[in-house]
A and B are shown apart, each in its own frame.
Chain A
Amino acid sequence: MKLAIEVNGAVRAVDASPWKRLLDLLRDDLRLTGTKEGCGEGECGACTVLLDGEPVNSCLVAAGQCDGRRVTTVEGLAQGELLHAVQRQLVACGGAQCGICTPGIAVCAAHLVDRGLVDAGDAARAQVRELLAGNICRCTGYQLIVEAVIAAAREVASGRQR
């Protein structure tokens, strides 16, 4: 099946089985290996990408469903060398260790921050924990990721005010 998918802002034409996992299409056909496979059953969230702006587990999405739609992967978060606030804060706060879950968390957290779903107040911690609960990290105990996402949310919110 001939598919036309907008990936990180550019339309890509791919000839692939409609049943192919979006994860495999990204990694194998488009060589976008930033998206990782941790479990292949939608539990770990390492393969999280945005489909029309909404986070999905790309291991559970068929390529045929993506025709004519927009996909954002971790490779699409930074603008050139300028990292997304979430990426910058994950580095600054120590929110990445082994790094295998990090692309999925960065994609999901960037979505939360860009949509203003994490407020800058006292509820932020609980919100982040609830909204990122589909992404498993085994290294960090989540604490410094929570700090990073809140710091990024504040950064983005203050940027909006300016």
Chain B
Amino acid sequence: MAPVGRSLPRVDGVAKVTGRAQYLDDLDAPGAWHGATVRSAIAHGVLEAIDVDPELAPALAAGELCVVTAADIPAKNVIALIEDDQPALVPIGGRVMHPDEPIALVAAPTRAQAFAAARRVRPRIRPLPAVFDVDAALAGAVRLYGDAGDNAFKRFLIRKGHASDDELEAVFAAAAQVIDGRYATSPQEQMYIEPQAMMADWRDGRCHIVGSMQCPYYVHKAMKALLGCDGDGVVIAQSVTGGGFGGKEEYPSMLAAHVALLARKAGRAVKMVYDRDEDIAATTKRHPCRTRHRLAVDARGELAAIDIDVVMDGGAYLTLSPVVLSRGVLHAAGPYRCPVVRVRGRVVATNHPPHGAFRGFGAPQTTFAYERQIQKLARARGEDPLALRKRLALRTGDTTATGQRLEASVGTDEVFAALEAVAGAPPARTGVNRHGAPVRRGRGVCFYFHGAGFTGSGEQRLAGRATVAATAHGFEVRSSSAEIGQGSITIFTQLAAAALGVDPALVTVIDPTTSRVPDSGPTVASRTAMVVGGVVDRAARAVRARLEAWAAGRAAGGSLAEHARAYVAQTGGELAETVTYEPPPGIAWDDATYTGSAYPVYGWATCLVDVEIDLDSCEVAVLRCVQAVDVGKAINPTIVRGQIDGGTLQALGWALLENVLYKDGKVANASMTNCIVPTFADAPELETLLVEVPYPFGPSGAKGVGEIPMDGPAAAVANAVEDALGAAFDELPISPEAIAASRPAWSAP
């Protein structure tokens, strides 16, 4: 049977169900010390001194303890990413920017000793006024970033179909109907079940780092800057990684820096595994976001103009915020036809810990706003919410907000049809639940899209590479894509096997250790199967063609694997092909005007949610959640389904019960007890429908799938709750408290 399109059991499955898979904390590391971090505890200030308790002196003198400060950094004190603004450790005299900022590091033979010693290293910080509110930050009361006075890390402006603000306002003035709404979404914790974990060891003059991560070459880049070495001076390896969801995109560089510095000074291997509380408090969250969204509708009920203003809280350092904002604004107008669009976006510095990558990467925030707006339009017009969306939806030949003409793989009609086929009747509007409480029920739908791969010309700039090699033992795939549970090594196995025409058992995807694999780009942006998988597919075809030509020249029969063995036996080396990503034809993007092909292709999805609200407890139960997603081609349907199910529940959690609460800039609910995520008992049966409208430039027609299920379900929940109660819900989460407070606005059932 062909390897693509088949649910091959995941190649790491047995290791994971038997407990044999080795995560960082499982690795045997005899003699390794444990590291702990001394943090600021103050949101904004100047670090004046670091006091080391004299009680630590004997252990320090005996070499049984190691303390690292910024003074121990060999080269540049920076976590290199987009902008070099975040230090690895705040130097004396430097500015503390958030309450969990790393100040010093401690290593000791045991974890308990390290944590005990860390409590005896105390920063002395002169406090400065701190800013936690984006309006205050924009007003510039305190300067945190830049010279413009508004603390904005980044601003974007998209204009379509108009030249000036006056022109835009004229369309609104002439509109038959205007829908104007304000929306707010909360920060969200990734809550991977394996906390951040990393280990470093200096051997043969090189720094070896292994740990839980999504992007080995991001860590590689950061270590080169911090340690002042070239690419060979540091080797980054990934241990089996217990979930990422974006949370292990940029933050692992911070841990890597810390264990590298500790191992260098202690002269031995040092590992660092965060406690859950520390992980929740210090690492990145989804950007909280505020969106104002205005829709102008003409007399025929068509969209005449869309005007959107997005403001995100970036936290203390720039990290990935400009890119998150970019994806947010590029998705903000939604998959709807509209001649006039303005999108403005700002991401602002505050004294919260930096917000960062989380599945969806800005798009879930703006999707929530536009899908609430479309819902309000449907209610205002008395039009069926699904029919209205279908009527206004983008299709092949239409243009997006950036003027991109949609050419291929536009699954609009297919995802609507798939949803309609199973929708059935909405639930009875009133009733009684199993606790005997009165309930109201409602249905919500939504429609959304998600650009796959890096934004704009990002993929051309990255120029991701991957290698396929024929060896004496079969075929090897080498890329820096990290298996983080999403199934990439199984997908690559299937793609390479299909291209080579061999049994998947002959294909091995090796670990993404930087000394052994080319830079394929990061494991982010719904790009791994589509972009890197496409490169793997081409490399495998090239290997096959060369091997077959070589075998034909020798007039030798046999299988491709036999040719490979013969080739290695005769030449003494492997036959390898390294291929670089090539963009599909017709992709043009202008960064200056933010116009053109924002993404090479989009995934498309519809979602239907039925809810039941307990009128006594005000809890919302999700009775049904159907999601139809156009994935291009499901290379492994079970893995794709699992990806979509998982993203869907993260979205339902974000809608109803997840939240990160800040008090004076510090996470106030930094434990799994208080920072809750959905359990088995909270989750509905997920009805995931795979729709396949092939993408001609993706491997076997596949396109990105990892993030799209995170985008839509939250709006579908809000729309369903509104349908049930008659009150609008424009902020997340829709907690029982929010439901209770809305009681005066409820309509008669």
Asked if A129 is at the interface (CB within 8 A of a chain B CB), the reply is yes
Q: Whole-angstrom distance from the CB of A151 to the nearest CB of chain B?
A: 13
Q: Whole-angstrom distance from the CB of B7 to the nearest CB of chain A?
A: 7
Asked if A70 is at the interface (CB within 8 A of a chain B CB), the reply is no
Instruction: Scan residues 664-707 of chain B and give those whose CB is less than 8 A from a CB of chain A.
Output: 671-673, 677, 679-681, 683, 685-686, 688
Q: Contacts A141-B648, A142-B649 hold; do A38 and B680 have CB atoms under 8 A apart?
A: no
Asked if B194 is at the interface (CB within 8 A of a chain A CB), the reply is yes
Asked if B1 is at the interface (CB within 8 A of a chain A CB), the reply is no
**Consensus secondary structure, chain B interface:** loop
Asked if A135 is at the interface (CB within 8 A of a chain B CB), the reply is yes
B194:A142 contact, CB within 8 angstroms: no
Instruction: Scan residues 345-378 of chain B and give those whose CB is less than 8 A from a CB of chain A.
Output: none
Instruction: State in angstroms the CA–CA spacing of A95 and B506 once bound together.
Output: 25
Instruction: State in angstroms the CA–CA spacing of A139 and B673 once bound together.
Output: 19
A33:B26 contact, CB within 8 angstroms: yes
Binds B, one of A61-69, A99-107, A113-121, A153-161: A99-107
Instruction: Scan residues 74-117 of chain A and give those whose CB is less than 8 A from a CB of chain B.
Output: 74-75, 77-78, 83, 87-88, 90-94, 96-103, 106
B683:A99 contact, CB within 8 angstroms: no
Q: Whole-angstrom distance from the CB of B683 to the nearest CB of chain A?
A: 5
Instruction: State in angstroms the CA–CA spacing of A44 and B678 once bound together.
Output: 11
**Chain B residue at minimal CB-CB distance from A88:** B17
- Beyond A38-B193, A145-B680, list 6 extra A-B contacts (CB 8 Å): A33-B25, A87-B14, A100-B193, A103-B17, A138-B646, A141-B642
Asked if B446 is at the interface (CB within 8 A of a chain A CB), the reply is no
Q: Point out the residue from A34, A139, A144 that lies within 8 Å of B243, measured CB to CB.
A: A139
Most chain A CB inside 10 Å of its own CB: which residue of B192, B275, B680: B680
Residues of A within 8 A of B240 (CB): 99
Q: Whole-angstrom distance from the CB of B658 to the nearest CB of chain A?
A: 11
Instruction: State in angstroms the CA–CA spacing of A41 and B12 once bound together.
Output: 28
Q: Whole-angstrom distance from the CB of A111 to the nearest CB of chain B?
A: 15
B17:A98 contact, CB within 8 angstroms: no
Instruction: Scan residues 27-72 of chain A and give those whose CB is less than 8 A from a CB of chain B.
Output: 27, 31-41, 43-44, 46
A138:B642 contact, CB within 8 angstroms: no
Q: Contacts A138-B646, A142-B649 hold; do A97 and B486 have CB atoms under 8 A apart?
A: yes
Q: Whole-angstrom distance from the CB of A142 to the nearest CB of chain B?
A: 5
**Chain A residue at minimal CB-CB distance from B7:** A94
Name 10 A/B residue pairs within 8 A (Cβ), A-sorted.
A41-B671, A87-B17, A94-B639, A96-B17, A97-B243, A125-B685, A139-B642, A139-B646, A141-B642, A144-B642
B12:A83 contact, CB within 8 angstroms: no
The 8 A CB mask of B641-656 against A (1 = contact, 0 = none) is 1100111111000000
Asked if A133 is at the interface (CB within 8 A of a chain B CB), the reply is yes
Asked if A128 is at the interface (CB within 8 A of a chain B CB), the reply is yes
Residues of B within 8 A of A142 (CB): 645, 649, 680, 683
**Chain A residue at minimal CB-CB distance from B276:** A39
A94:B10 contact, CB within 8 angstroms: yes
Q: Contacts A41-B673, A97-B642 hold; do A102 and B679 have CB atoms under 8 A apart?
A: no
Instruction: State in angstroms the CA–CA spacing of A118 and B140 once bound together.
Output: 60
Residues of A within 8 A of B243 (CB): 97-98, 100, 138-139
B9:A92 contact, CB within 8 angstroms: yes
Residues of A within 8 A of B679 (CB): 133-136
Residues of B within 8 A of A78 (CB): 18
Q: Point out the residue from A91, A130, A143 that lies within 8 Å of B13, measured CB to CB.
A: A91
Residues of A within 8 A of B13 (CB): 90-91, 96
Q: Contacts A35-B19, A94-B638 hold; do A40 and B646 have CB atoms under 8 A apart?
A: no
**Chain A residue at minimal CB-CB distance from B640:** A94
Q: How many A-B residue pairs lie within 8 Å, measured between CB atoms?
A: 169
Q: Point out the residue from A35, A39, A87, A128 that lies within 8 Å of B672, measured CB to CB.
A: A39
A99:B485 contact, CB within 8 angstroms: yes
Q: Point out the residue from A87, A96, A135 that lies within 8 Å of B680, measured CB to CB.
A: A135
Residues of A within 8 A of B190 (CB): 138
Q: Contacts A36-B242, A141-B649 hold; do A91 and B680 have CB atoms under 8 A apart?
A: no
**Chain A residue at minimal CB-CB distance from B28:** A31
Asked if A5 is at the interface (CB within 8 A of a chain B CB), the reply is no
Instruction: State in angstroms the CA–CA spacing of A101 and B19 once bound together.
Output: 10
Residues of A within 8 A of B417 (CB): none
Residues of A within 8 A of B727 (CB): none
B18:A83 contact, CB within 8 angstroms: yes
Q: In the complex, how many residues of chain A place their beta carbon closer than 8 angstroms to a beta carbon of chain B?
A: 56
Q: Point out the residue from A92, A103, A125, A141 that lies within 8 Å of B19, measured CB to CB.
A: A103
Instruction: State in angstroms the CA–CA spacing of A39 and B192 once bound together.
Output: 11
Asked if A7 is at the interface (CB within 8 A of a chain B CB), the reply is no
Residues of B within 8 A of A143 (CB): 641-642, 645, 683, 685-686, 688
**Chain A residue at minimal CB-CB distance from B639:** A94
Q: Point out the residue from B22, B23, B191, B646 that lies within 8 Å of A140, measured CB to CB.
A: B646
Chain B, interface residues (CB within 8 Å), range: 35 or more
Instruction: State in angstroms the CA–CA spacing of A148 and B647 once bound together.
Output: 19
Asked if A25 is at the interface (CB within 8 A of a chain B CB), the reply is no
Asked if A14 is at the interface (CB within 8 A of a chain B CB), the reply is no
Asked if B484 is at the interface (CB within 8 A of a chain A CB), the reply is yes
Instruction: State in angstroms the CA–CA spacing of A32 and B26 once bound together.
Output: 9
Instruction: State in angstroms the CA–CA spacing of A27 and B28 once bound together.
Output: 11
Asked if B245 is at the interface (CB within 8 A of a chain A CB), the reply is yes
Asked if B35 is at the interface (CB within 8 A of a chain A CB), the reply is no
Instruction: State in angstroms the CA–CA spacing of A133 and B680 once bound together.
Output: 5
B25:A83 contact, CB within 8 angstroms: no
Q: Whole-angstrom distance from the CB of B400 to the nearest CB of chain A?
A: 29
Asked if B195 is at the interface (CB within 8 A of a chain A CB), the reply is yes
Instruction: State in angstroms the CA–CA spacing of A42 and B649 once bound together.
Output: 22
Instruction: State in angstroms the CA–CA spacing of A75 and B26 once bound together.
Output: 14
Closest 4 CB pairs of A and B: A34-B19, A98-B485, A100-B242, A99-B16
A129:B17 contact, CB within 8 angstroms: no
Residues of A within 8 A of B14 (CB): 83, 87, 91
Asked if A22 is at the interface (CB within 8 A of a chain B CB), the reply is no
Instruction: State in angstroms the CA–CA spacing of A37 and B184 once bound together.
Output: 34
A40:B642 contact, CB within 8 angstroms: no
Q: Point out the residue from A36, A125, A130, A144 that lies within 8 Å of B645, measured CB to CB.
A: A144
The 8 A CB mask of B11-41 against A (1 = contact, 0 = none) is 0111111111111011010000000000000
A133:B645 contact, CB within 8 angstroms: no
Q: Point out the residue from B19, B486, B685 that lies within 8 Å of A73, measured CB to CB.
A: B19
Instruction: State in angstroms the CA–CA spacing of A93 and B560 once bound together.
Output: 31
Residues of B within 8 A of A136 (CB): 193, 672, 677, 679
B17:A83 contact, CB within 8 angstroms: yes
Q: Whole-angstrom distance from the CB of B329 to the nearest CB of chain A?
A: 28
**Chain B residue at minimal CB-CB distance from A148:** B17
A91:B23 contact, CB within 8 angstroms: no
Q: Whole-angstrom distance from the CB of B453 to the nearest CB of chain A?
A: 22
Asked if A137 is at the interface (CB within 8 A of a chain B CB), the reply is yes
Asked if A146 is at the interface (CB within 8 A of a chain B CB), the reply is yes
Residues of A within 8 A of B322 (CB): none
A102:B16 contact, CB within 8 angstroms: yes
Q: Point out the residue from B25, B646, B680, B686 that lies within 8 Å of A97, measured CB to CB.
A: B646
The 8 A CB mask of B512-555 against A (1 = contact, 0 = none) is 00000000000000000000000000000000000000000000
Q: Whole-angstrom distance from the CB of B278 to the nearest CB of chain A?
A: 11
Residues of A within 8 A of B15 (CB): 99
Residues of A within 8 A of B9 (CB): 91-92
Asked if B487 is at the interface (CB within 8 A of a chain A CB), the reply is yes
Asked if B326 is at the interface (CB within 8 A of a chain A CB), the reply is no
